[in-house]
Chain A
């Protein structure tokens, strides 16, 4: 398959400004959040925190967001709990929104008539845009990785953590973002005349996130959590045997690959209505 550099660079340029905005917001959020860690770890704050975790209702609520007292005390546990709450959510929004746009926006703004009457095949169009999306997503995750690592190092104090666990968790988050991106792209193919899929996309992310959160409150709900892609991100970074699990990776890669492949097949035969 051929990458059309012309389309690839134009796509990158199109998203440049919004991409920088996303990166900066996420960086600031990570840094501000981690700056709280040393403050919370002062003696009196920790006592107040333990009061919260003694209340069974609040404990359940906190665990829905992946937070336990032990987890909070460790720097990586703290980072992961907060990361899951904000960064993963923001990253998923970024991914699903961009992926949902790369093909449909050309139809919606009717520029597809220009693009598809140039000497390019439909597959080249999908491939070039997909690689552009992938480049952006990868860059965003590298930014998250570096900012995360630096902020943990700056604010960790006496707390110890396993670098491998941090890397693995970041990798899971990347796979999740990729998977919801594939969903967003696939979804956008079915909307007539490329109307924006923003609402449905946000719905998928919020819905998936809360199904996962609910499943963590009580073991009874555990099973419904598997409906949500968020469930497949393993956040138990403090567990001694934390590592890459093949079935989690397989889940993300299989869904992404399937949806990306279907996108190629469908777009190749799609009538572009202007």
Chain B
């Protein structure tokens, strides 16, 4: 559905994205995760032809993203991270304007979705709150029944109720066969929805994983209280990640065999030990930050 080959975009000194290789399958919900400034929006804008690749390339529906952009966009619904619409228009005018670009009658779909999201179609866009403007963006991306939805941080400024409704709609669209490419800066947000996630950092893809695989990583958070001051190299054992020492306590992530760790600890004088399961967020924060740093070295 979406494929990129060494897609690179640099703006002057800014990084942009580097050698991005992505493959999104037809019918899947793909989460595109990374901190702010990692290159998520740059990737999306390159895919949509707002900006042009410096090198490399890509295709959507098998069509080249630079040469066939008009044909591609006929089948895409895009929801931008920041909402900027024509201030003078009211909601209905904007949605009609949007609908007129596609060769189909979208009126009943507009009414239907406006109803679901409780959006007043006769208000001026300028008078609406951020959350309500976000709803316009949702409608605008859905009314022409696209085959592919590209959503750039779609849930910011949506309240929990609307978020739930939005996720329901996405699930429904997906079951109808719509492929969804969903960017977010938090993994927790997308883990319920997505089957696979791609993690982008500093313009590079550092991992593409199944959510399940990620969850099964045998990663533990370990906190040890010693009876004496410690340094970060106190524990000499494979699998210790990112240790930090403060007075008598030592914290680290651990990816090795717990039994081996216990053997090592038996030789030490410890006062307390806590081993717990990290959140999915922490897994990728620590695991992948560490991995990408090693790769760069």
Contacts and interface: CB of A to CB of B under 8 A. Distances in A.
Interface residues of B, number: 27
B71 A119 contact: yes
A16 to B, nearest CB: 10
A274 B45 contact: yes
Interface stretch (B31-39, B81-89, B115-123, B247-255): B81-89
Given A14-B88, A121-B70, A272 B51 contact: yes
A269 B97 contact: no
Contacts of B74: 119
B186 interface: no
Contacts of A117: 48, 50, 73, 76, 78, 80
Interface of A is mostly: loop
A172 B99 CA distance: 42
Contacts of A273: 11, 51
B97 to A, nearest CB: 6
B98 interface: yes
B50 A272 contact: yes
Interface string B47-63: 01111100000000000
Nearest to B75: A119
Contact of A116 (B49, B85, B100): B49
Contact of A118 (B11, B80, B82, B101): B101
Nearest to A121: B70
A273 B87 CA distance: 20
Interface in A219-274: 269, 271-274
Nearest to B103: A119
A6 B97 contact: yes
B69 interface: yes
A128 to B, nearest CB: 12
A120 B76 CA distance: 12
A47 interface: no
Interface string A103-123: 000000111111011111100
A271 B51 contact: yes
Given A10-B97, A116-B49, A269-B52, A274 B82 contact: yes
Contact of B85 (A4, A6, A114, A119): A114
A44 to B, nearest CB: 53
A110 B51 contact: no
B122 to A, nearest CB: 18
A113 B52 contact: no
Given A6-B101, A117-B73, A119-B101, A110 B82 contact: yes
A230 to B, nearest CB: 34
B101 A109 contact: no
A110 B101 CA distance: 19
Contacts of B78: 117
Interface string A26-61: 000000000000000000000000000000000000
A271 B76 contact: no
A263 B288 CA distance: 45
A13 to B, nearest CB: 9
Contacts of B140: 114
A118 B73 contact: yes
A6 B52 CA distance: 25
Interface string B181-220: 0000000000000000000000000000000000000000
A109 B100 CA distance: 21
A42 B85 CA distance: 58
Nearest to A17: B88
A121 B69 contact: yes
B86 A113 contact: no
B145 to A, nearest CB: 14
30 contacts: A4-B101, A6-B97, A6-B100, A6-B101, A109-B84, A109-B87, A110-B82, A111-B84, A111-B86, A112-B50, A113-B84, A114-B80, A117-B48, A117-B50, A117-B73, A117-B76, A117-B78, A117-B80, A119-B70, A119-B73, A119-B101, A121-B69, A121-B70, A271-B51, A271-B52, A272-B45, A273-B11, A274-B45, A274-B50, A274-B80
Given A111-B85, A119-B101, A271-B52, 9 more contacts: A114-B85, A114-B98, A117-B48, A118-B73, A119-B102, A120-B70, A121-B70, A269-B52, A271-B11
